[in-house]
Chains A and B, each alone.
Chain A
């Protein structure tokens, strides 16, 4: 099954659900940790993405719990969600490989300056 490229929030939300089902704030915290604090999901963004991921059957509701009078919904990855995450990871890894190869050409292992035609170095 071909997967569309995932947005960054969707990618991190799927990654956050890999090890166990999580509720909304659990996902926010895990995404912040996975991204080293770079991606801090706003609540409207989080539920907009969850909405889409459920519609695309990449995640599903795991269970509902009431804690301190609050309803918490736990989400888990589906098999399609795992496939989408694998596909996206491979796509990003391929991008990184391609860019790394170009960088190696530009910046040789010796640490020398880029070789430019007619340069002074």
Chain B
């Protein structure tokens, strides 16, 4: 192993061009900026030394002048950069023993991912059920209006496939809560394919197809975000308690189905009084109010992980409500629907802002540097 000549005198946050630092080191330090500042403060110099030793040793094996050349023109390889990026992601997603702020952040992100996937799975389970009812195929429930059955019985195979493809989200959710995180990480992106196909047909399909609206785009974006969220469940993440989530899934789907059936039977004007974005807004507002009511002012993190997760989800839910309102507003609709939708948007805004303030306040109070005791020589 060689010892290369480099001058000390740079800080943990970056290179100083006047201190004699080699271009290779400057490049590697730029890569290290992916890491949290608190981690860099402890580890950057050590990581730089290890990296340079490896690079310059490899160069020496081939060529006597190689070390100088590599120091001037070498670059960190993509696998090196990827390893730093993976470490950065793991640290920011709350690895065990990491800074408390990152641990809280990681918990919040994973809970938000779980809630988003849960909501999508509920929709994926309720959708086929509703279609079965609307086409008169569920004998135990009240019959839908005869004209609906007549119209919906004409829907093509594509609609059936579309609705039942929602069950892929159910599979992704079940995989995640039962500990098959890899399965969830594969299934969730696959579950977005029907939405992708929908948009693709709208753009490149037959002329006159008008199925793609701003709401379709938003739903696609939401699906893609939900699809990547299971990545927050890294190898070191704690296991999810599966049973409560697995029990809640059919229960919530049944509630959605009942609300939709009642709403469909009640409002015969062509507008559904409460539709899917509205249900999400109501569920969000109820959860946020419950989280605020349960907050304990004396605790370091008064709202707990739920308030953090809801703060992350609030913009997504509010966006869904506003885009759907805007999409529907170009078509004739009842004023009752618009009033209710507006109230739902206000509800999400107010409660979402409140949980965001609570979560932000709690996060700022948590330390963002690693426990120094973990990195102190014990003798």
Would you call A25 and B53 a contact (CB within 8 A)? yes
Would you call A54 and B97 a contact (CB within 8 A)? yes
Interface presence of A102 (CB below 8 A):
no
Give the one of B79, B83, B91 with max A CB within 10 A: B83
* Contact flags B70-90 to A (C-beta < 8 A → 1, else 0): 000000000110111111001
Closest to B8 in A: A69
Closest to B34 in A: A44
Give the one of A52, A56, A61, A70 with max B CB within 10 A: A70
- Stretch among B39-47, B61-69, B107-115, B190-198 lining the A interface: B39-47
Interface presence of A35 (CB below 8 A):
no
Interface presence of B214 (CB below 8 A):
no
Give the one of A45, A51, A61, A64 with max B CB within 10 A: A51
Give the one of A55, A62, A67 with max B CB within 10 A: A55
Would you call B47 and A43 a contact (CB within 8 A)? yes
Interface presence of B6 (CB below 8 A):
yes
Interface presence of A28 (CB below 8 A):
yes
Q: CA–CA, A108 to B8, complex, Å?
A: 63
Would you call A43 and B377 a contact (CB within 8 A)? no
Would you call A61 and B80 a contact (CB within 8 A)? no
Interface presence of B209 (CB below 8 A):
no
Interface presence of A3 (CB below 8 A):
no
* Contact flags A56-91 to B (C-beta < 8 A → 1, else 0): 100011111001111111000000000000000000
Would you call A43 and B54 a contact (CB within 8 A)? yes
Would you call B47 and A24 a contact (CB within 8 A)? yes
Q: CA–CA, A108 to B307, complex, Å?
A: 64
Q: B95 contacts which chain A residues (CB < 8 A)?
A: 51-52, 55
Closest to B50 in A: A24
Q: CA–CA, A44 to B1, complex, Å?
A: 20
Interface presence of A42 (CB below 8 A):
yes
Given contact pairs A28-B54, A70-B6, A71-B45, A62 touches B86 in the complex (Cβ within 8 A): no
Interface presence of A46 (CB below 8 A):
yes
Given contact pairs A42-B83, A43-B83, A44-B86, A69 touches B375 in the complex (Cβ within 8 A): no
* Contact flags B1-21 to A (C-beta < 8 A → 1, else 0): 101111110000000000000
For chain A, residues 7 to 46, give those with C-beta under 8 angstroms from any C-beta of chain B.
23-26, 28-29, 42-46
Number of interface residues, chain B, beta carbon within 8 A: 38
Would you call A48 and B49 a contact (CB within 8 A)? no
A42, A63, A70: the one within 8 Å of B45 (CB): A70
Closest to A49 in B: B87
Q: CA–CA, A61 to B379, complex, Å?
A: 9
Q: CA–CA, A28 to B376, complex, Å?
A: 22
Would you call A68 and B5 a contact (CB within 8 A)? yes
* Contact flags B300-344 to A (C-beta < 8 A → 1, else 0): 000000000000000000000000000000000000000000000
B3, B49, B79, B376: the one within 8 Å of A71 (CB): B49
Interface presence of B270 (CB below 8 A):
no
Given contact pairs A28-B54, A69-B6, A55 touches B87 in the complex (Cβ within 8 A): no
Given contact pairs A24-B50, A72-B46, A48 touches B3 in the complex (Cβ within 8 A): no
Would you call A70 and B87 a contact (CB within 8 A)? no
Q: CA–CA, A88 to B170, complex, Å?
A: 37
Least CB distance, B105 to chain A, in whole angstroms: 17
Would you call B3 and A67 a contact (CB within 8 A)? yes
Given contact pairs A24-B47, A54-B97, A72-B46, A44 touches B3 in the complex (Cβ within 8 A): no
B3, B6, B79, B97: the one within 8 Å of A51 (CB): B97
Least CB distance, A73 to chain B, in whole angstroms: 6
Q: CA–CA, A86 to B81, complex, Å?
A: 33
Closest to A41 in B: B83
Q: B86 contacts which chain A residues (CB < 8 A)?
A: 44-45, 48
Least CB distance, B3 to chain A, in whole angstroms: 5
Given contact pairs A29-B1, A61-B378, A45 touches B87 in the complex (Cβ within 8 A): yes
A47-B46, A68-B3 given; 13 more Cβ-contact pairs under 8 Å? A25-B1, A25-B49, A42-B82, A44-B80, A44-B86, A45-B83, A48-B90, A62-B377, A63-B377, A67-B3, A69-B6, A71-B45, A72-B46
By Cβ-Cβ distance, the 6 closest A-B pairs, closest first, are A55-B97, A44-B83, A42-B83, A69-B8, A24-B50, A44-B84
A-B CB contact pairs (8 Å), 17 listed: A23-B50, A25-B1, A25-B50, A42-B80, A45-B87, A47-B43, A48-B86, A48-B87, A48-B90, A51-B98, A52-B95, A52-B97, A55-B97, A64-B377, A68-B3, A68-B6, A69-B7
